[in-house]
Amino acid sequence: MRITYQSIIGIIIGIGFIIGGLSGEYVLAGTNSPELLIIAGVVILIADLYYMFFYNKN
């Protein structure tokens, strides 16, 4: 497993999107939908976790 700053920042952004969508105060731009913001956060989080655990094998 190789942890990079890019992965950490992506995980923080993904968690921020999820928390913002769950609070209901933030929405995905252009859609006015907190549910899509949550989905975007989950996709970013999964992509960065995948990158950390599987892509960078050294």
pLDDT for residue 57: 61
Cα 53 to its chain centre, rounded Å, is 15
pLDDT in tens, the chain (58 residues): 667 788 889 999 999 999 999 998 999 999 999 999 999 999 999 999 988 888 756 5
Domains of the chain, residue spans: 5-55
**pLDDT of amino acid 56:** 59
Cα distances (angstroms) measured from residue 1 to each of 23, 26, 50: 32, 33, 10
Residue 8 is encoded by which pair of tokens?
């950490």
Amino acid letter for position 27: V
Specify the pLDDT at position 51: 87
Residue 6 pLDDT: 84
pLDDT value of residue 41? 96
Number of alpha helices (DSSP H) and beta strands (DSSP E) in the chain? 2, 0
Q: What is the pLDDT of residue 35?
A: 95
